[in-house]
Amino acid sequence: MKSETRLEIVGLIQHQAMMNTYGLVLQEANGTRRFSILIGEPEAQSITLKLKNKVLPRPLTHDLIKNILQALNCELKEVVISALKNDIFYSELHITGSDGKDYTVDARTSDAVALAVRAECPLYIKSEILDQVGTELARKKEPVTLDEIADATPDDMRLLGEQTINRLLKQAVEEEKYELAAKLKKVQEQKKQQ
């Protein structure tokens, strides 16, 4: 069996050149390699709403699918990004049915991630795919001063490491830059929820 690497969601960034398109930034859970997947606005909204624990009065499509799985006593065990063909990621939903059997269902990666977030199940990528698309996070390029991040968006700030955010937050408070400190605190809290 081929090895898989666990992933975590780092953030969503609106694509500047392509309207209604977002970059879903994923990173290996115990490493520094990252990559992004272009997804549509509905899927980006669905993922963001769940990450921010927002509850809508009526279920979105991904909520509906989760509710159907629950009603049928099925469990989404994990999501695996299983292939990369012609620059398109392919994913699988690994589901345990009410009969105790395991099922694998093909899914678009954007939908699979939205379901994984809702089911709070792990997200993996085949290691050989991560070897192809993963980019080592260059720590020396990470902003290290308050001046460098003064105009950064919250999405950009979420790309900072936890230690860097903690250090900059402490520095912002000490220098009485409370607006920037508030932004950093919010980003820090959001990262803890992921």
| CA–CA separation, 127 and 27 (whole Å) | 12
Arithmetic mean of pLDDT, 150-174: 83
H helices within the chain, ranges in order?
Answer: 41-51, 61-71, 109-119, 127-133, 146-149, 154-157, 162-174, 178-193
Total residue count of the chain as it appears in this document: 194
| CA–CA separation, 82 and 126 (whole Å) | 6
Answer whether residue 129 shows pLDDT above 50: yes
By percentage, how much of the chain surpasses pLDDT 90?
59
Q: Are strands 33-40 and 21-28 parallel, antiparallel or unpaired?
A: antiparallel
pLDDT one-digit tens code per residue, 25-43: 999 988 889 999 999 999 9
Q: Report the DSSP beta bridge partners of residue 5.
A: 125
83, with CB counted inside 10 A (0-12, 13-18, 19+), is: middle
3-state secondary structure of 55: coil
pLDDT one-digit tens code per residue, 80-124: 999 999 999 999 999 999 999 999 999 999 999 999 999 999 999
Say what the pLDDT of residue 150 is. Answer: 82
pTM summary value? 0.69
Say what the pLDDT of residue 1 is. Answer: 43
pLDDT one-digit tens code per residue, 64-91: 999 999 999 999 999 999 999 999 999 9
By percentage, how much of the chain surpasses pLDDT 70?
94
Q: Residue 98: which of 135, 71, 116 has the closest Cα?
A: 71
